[in-house]
Amino acid sequence: MIRPVGTALCLALVAAGAGMTQSPDETPGAGEAYLMAGFTPDPYQVELTGGGAVEAAAMATGCSGFIAAQPDFVLSYNAGTMPLIFTVQARADTTLAIFAPDGNWYCDDDSGPGLNPSLRFEAPQSGRYDIWVGKLTGPGDVPVRLSVSELHGQ
């Protein structure tokens, strides 16, 4: 079960093969992390460059913004009983797309603080989360901070 962290949730659940133009198995642009339930510090944060030239809508219905071909970041996660929350902070209007271990795409625009996205997995699965941060207003790059938490929504 996924619940929005904010109020304006644009969530897409799409089968992995449908409309897929992104490459979840490619090397992520900003690296990867391995976290286990109960990780510290919480939130785990990474600075990265989001955006790109590919329209996220081509990837899955309900996704928006412009993203890179390869994931921006990959999280390998060993789940426990806590939720798993992804939040983006940026000075530009950003979007978030995650290819989750269940083989589905989850996308958001504006559920986080301001014009930032956030996705909350209430009962996260263990496995690989491929993460793209998009720029809503057109192709190009945008510096962002991605936060991963089990405790904090924003």
Query: What integer pLDDT is reported at residue 10 of this predicted model?
Result: 37
Domain membership flag for residue 154: no
Each of the 154 residues of the chain gets a pLDDT tens digit; together they read 443 333 333 333 333 333 445 555 567 677 899 999 999 999 999 999 999 999 999 988 889 999 999 999 999 999 999 999 999 999 999 999 999 999 999 999 999 888 999 999 999 999 999 999 999 998 999 999 999 999 986 5
Q: CB atoms < 10 A from the CB of 142, how many?
A: 22
Residues 6+ apart with CB under 8 A from 29: 48, 49, 68, 70, 71, 72, 73
Query: What integer pLDDT is reported at residue 20 of this predicted model?
Result: 44
Q: Return the CATH number at 141.
A: 2.60.120
DSSP 42-96: SSEEEEEEEEESEEGGGTSTT--SEE-SS-SEEEEEE--SS-EEEEEE-SS-EEE
Domain membership flag for residue 99: yes
* Listed residue (152, 141, 131) closest to 91, CA to CA: 141
Domain membership flag for residue 151: no
Residues 6+ apart with CB under 8 A from 13: 104, 105, 106
Cα separation, 54 vs 65, in Å, equals 8
Domain membership flag for residue 153: no
Domain membership flag for residue 150: no
Query: What integer pLDDT is reported at residue 24 of this predicted model?
Result: 57
Cα separation, 149 vs 42, in Å, equals 6
Domain membership flag for residue 127: yes
Domain membership flag for residue 69: yes
Cα separation, 149 vs 139, in Å, equals 29
* Listed residue (106, 114, 122, 124) closest to 145, CA to CA: 114
pTM, entire model: 0.83
Q: In which domain, by residue range, is 30 found?
A: 2-145
Give the chain's domain count: 1
